Amino acid sequence: MRRRLLRPALLCATLWTAAVCQAQVTVLENATLIDGTGRPPVANSTVVITNGRITYAGPKAQAKVPGGAARVNVAGKFIVPGVINLHGHLGATKGLVQDNKNYTRENTFHQLKTYANYGVTSVVSMGSDQPLILDIRREQRATGRPKEARVFTAFRGFTGPGGYPTKAPGMKGVPYEVSTPAQVEKALDELASRHVDLVKVWVDDHLGKEQKIPIPLVKVIISGAKKRGLNTAAHIFYYDDAKALAEGGLYGLAHSVRDKEVDAAFIASMKKSGTWQAAATFTRELSMFVYAQPPQWLDDPFFTPSVSPETRATLKSAAYAKNVAANPENMLYKGFLKTAQKNLKKLADAGVPYGFGTDTGPPARIQGFFEHLEMQLMAEAGLTPQQIITSWSKSAAQWLGASKDLGTAEAGHWADLVVTAKNPLTDINNMRTIEQVYIGGNRVR
């Protein structure tokens, strides 16, 4: 009840007279606006934010700014939609340790604030959650104006009995381990009753080391989710699995195909079912081998706020590097990354829709900073800055079914915005010149 009374619209309607009822208006003026639609940028723009939502975004000449607005001069700077990360994980990792004992309100908020600090204004938590996440999501949606990244969640994902990733540290008991359609239906009922934003399934044998859930059972998950009005995203690794699931009506691939290059038959399957390459997660591959030689960016002042000094010291240590380098399997991921990059470029060129996602959150997959590395790797794959920006704004919101509220910097949407000093359209790495971040019109950086 108390939270409701804080909402300005309700105050206006019930308590105050129209004369004293003032909307909260913030105006960002004089920047170049890159709105996420893919249209050319608007130089000398005005963005009017009323009670957290954009009510105008376009040329300054046509803007009507109400009296009493708080005006922010961002001349010479660039306004870009906040990043919607379609593949993250929350709560369980602290430092470099993944354990559900870490899944506290404090740790989860710390992570959501870290994302926000790097311009990631929404994150989809992909199947590794505890009930706490549903409380946080409910609290955020009560106002629509959180002070940290917005949460979307698959809650608990599916795998087979003892399947991937239940042997990863801290992951036992997190996903549903199913072997029959009846078990699938029961779990889907629970997910539907908790109003999850999507359904997640892991389809992987971890390079032949673990049990993979059978494809026919995954198809039961996909169709059962659909019956309940839910879309399914799949962790896949292999071409054959991804193609079979696209043919089974899968909504989104939560990783790139990494064992081989996709081809015309694959693209046709994706298009026929409307399957998205929801997240390419290049930084997931990178994280497997990059620490074998401590990367230079561990000393980059843009990186350092993303982790604790202790975590940074560990990642920089010779012992950590030696441990990563000692596992020859880790080095295979250099090739998997290259294949993934070729595949995203092929899919993009063929007109298959794609979003943006990193798989950050597990140990050494650094929330906030890795989203910027992902942009860099997408550019190296051959995507233009405009394509990359659209992937995390307009496209990501569309895939989530959140286009009414989020995505582009257009009137009607929540003002989830990033202000940069340099132009990300000339070099996507200029996203690292972040100066301000807004979520629901509130400045959070």
Positions in the binding site for Zn ion (CB under 5 A): 126, 359
Phi-psi region of 160 (alpha: psi -120 to 50; beta: other; left: phi over 0): beta
The dihedral through the CA atoms of 241, 246, 252, 255 has a sign that is positive
Contact yes or no for 416/440 (Cβ under 8 A):
yes
Q: Cβ of residue 306: shortest distance to Zn ion, in angstroms?
A: 18
Q: Is the peptide bond before 40 cis (omega within 30 degrees of 0)?
A: no
d(CA 364, CA 333): 15
Q: Cβ of residue 98: shortest distance to Zn ion, in angstroms?
A: 12
Contact yes or no for 347/270 (Cβ under 8 A):
yes
DSSP tag of 149: P
Q: Cβ of residue 159: shortest distance to Zn ion, in angstroms?
A: 12
Please enumerate in sequence order all residues whose Cβ is within 8 A of that of 275, keeping only pairs 6 or more positions apart, or say none: 245, 246, 249, 250, 251, 252, 253, 269, 352
Q: Between 126 and 242, whose beta carbon lies closer to Zn ion?
A: 126
Rounded to 5 degrees, φ, ψ at 12 are -60, -40
What is the strand order of the sheet 53-59 is part of? Answer: 53-59, 45-50, 25-29, 70-73
Q: Is 126 helix (H, G, I), strand (E, B) or coil?
A: coil
Q: Between 52 and 361, whose beta carbon lies closer to Zn ion?
A: 361
Q: Between 234 and 270, whose beta carbon lies closer to Zn ion?
A: 234
Q: Between 222 and 233, whose beta carbon lies closer to Zn ion?
A: 233
Q: Cβ of residue 428: shortest distance to Zn ion, in angstroms?
A: 23
Q: Cβ of residue 245: shortest distance to Zn ion, in angstroms?
A: 16
d(CA 22, CA 48): 15
Q: Between 175 and 440, whose beta carbon lies closer to Zn ion?
A: 175
Written as one letter, the residue type at 286 is: L
Contact yes or no for 121/83 (Cβ under 8 A):
yes
Q: Cβ of residue 361: shortest distance to Zn ion, in angstroms?
A: 8
Q: Between 126 and 431, whose beta carbon lies closer to Zn ion?
A: 126
CB-nearest residue to Zn ion: 359
Q: Cβ of residue 359: shortest distance to Zn ion, in angstroms?
A: 4
Q: Between 90 and 126, whose beta carbon lies closer to Zn ion?
A: 126
Closest CA to 388 of 399, 403, 376: 376
Q: Cβ of residue 301: shortest distance to Zn ion, in angstroms?
A: 28
Q: Between 279 and 437, whose beta carbon lies closer to Zn ion?
A: 279
Q: Cβ of residue 87: shortest distance to Zn ion, in angstroms?
A: 6
Q: Between 126 and 402, whose beta carbon lies closer to Zn ion?
A: 126
426 burial via Cβ count (<10 Å: 0-12, 13-18, 19+):
exposed
